[in-house]
Structure 1
Amino acid sequence: MPLYIKDDVTADLVAQLAKLRGLTKQDAVRLAVQAELDRDQAAIPLRVRVQTLRAAHPLPPPTDQPADKAFFDDLSGGL
């Protein structure tokens, strides 16, 4: 889907970034938007990001089996 920038100042800024970096205007827009998204993501506290990750990928339930040397030796083929 095409993106039409109607604001001349914004179009000029995109052209400046594209020229400076040796990019197409499309790649310059992508780069700028990705940088802003990365900055917003970094502003989210680590605690919140970890909670979100843990909610999306919960740990399996405990098995009540000991994770001792024998357990790890068995995982690695008894080496």
Structure 2
Amino acid sequence: MALFIRDKAVDSLAVELQKALKTTTKKDAVRVALENELERVKRQRTRVAGIAELQEKIAALGPSDPDFDMKRFMDEMWGDI
């Protein structure tokens, strides 16, 4: 199936990318750009899924203690360093 670029701005970007990547055709430059963008989106989804998993684990621990003093805890942990 053919992909026709009729928008002058998009065509200009494809030419610029073709020169930057030193590909022989605009088609190759567009293919590389699309492959790279798909990989970026997949990595982003993986990161989002990982964060959601961590949030679920943290929520399973139960509510945090509102009276917990993190500064005091850290001072005691580090001592006189």
Q: TM-score, normalised by structure 1?
A: 0.54
Quote the offset at 1:5 in angstroms: 0.7
Question: Where does residue 61 of structure 2 map in the other structure?
Answer: none
The Cα shift of 1:45 comes to 2.5
What are structure 1's unaligned runs of at least 5 residues?
A: 50-79
Q: CA deviation at 1:33?
A: 0.5
Per residue, is there more helix in 1 or in 2? 2
* Residue matched to 2:27: 26
- Distance across 2 between alignment mates of 1:16 and 1:47: 32
* Unaligned segments of structure 2, at least 5 residues: 51-81
| Root mean square deviation of aligned Cα | 1.9
Query: Over alpha carbons, which structure has the higher Rg?
Result: 2
1:15 paired residue number:
15
Counterpart for residue 40 of structure 1: 41
Q: Which runs of 4+ in 1 moved over 2 A?
A: 45-49
How does the TM-score come out when normalised to structure 2? 0.53
